[in-house]
Amino acid sequence: MITFDDFQKVDIRVGRIVEAENFSEARKPSYKLMIDLGPEIGVKKSSAQLTRNYSLDQLLGRLVLCVVNFPPRQIGPIHSEVLTLGVPDVDGECILITPDKDVPLGGRLY
């Protein structure tokens, strides 16, 4: 069990995908994403295995939730700076966690 204080250490923020491209160097089919997390955090890179459920066009402009305080992770030739959050569908493929209304970028999950 973790405490509420432990949960608060994970900094989850709202961002908007501003760029998306195929990540051909990745071992599994993935996209490279640039996510705008607002003026406090800025634009960060992420890699996500979303190719089964999303086209590149469907990702642009989409709001997403990201963990912003994990250390960067080397994924192939890029440093993924944030973890884009999702849940598995019935086939185990990622479905993004997205706000259902337009909200300010950088807003923290609570």
Q: Which two tokens stand for residue 49?
A: 């295995």
Reduce the DSSP state of residue 14 to 3 states and report it: strand
Query: Any idea where the domains of the chain sit in the sequence?
Result: 4-96
The pLDDT tens digits for 38-64 are 999 999 999 999 999 999 999 999 999
Q: How far apart are CA 28 and CA 36, in angstroms?
A: 24
- CATH number belonging to domain 4-96: 2.40.50.140
Name 13's Cβ contacts closer than 8 Å, sequence gap at least 6.
37, 38, 41, 65, 66, 68, 106, 107, 108, 109
Query: What pLDDT digit, counting tens, does each position of 64-92 carry?
Result: 999 999 999 999 899 999 999 999 999 99
pLDDT level of residue 103 (50, 70, 90 thresholds)? very high
User: Rounded to an integer, what is the distance from CA 93 to the centroid of its chain?
Assistant: 15
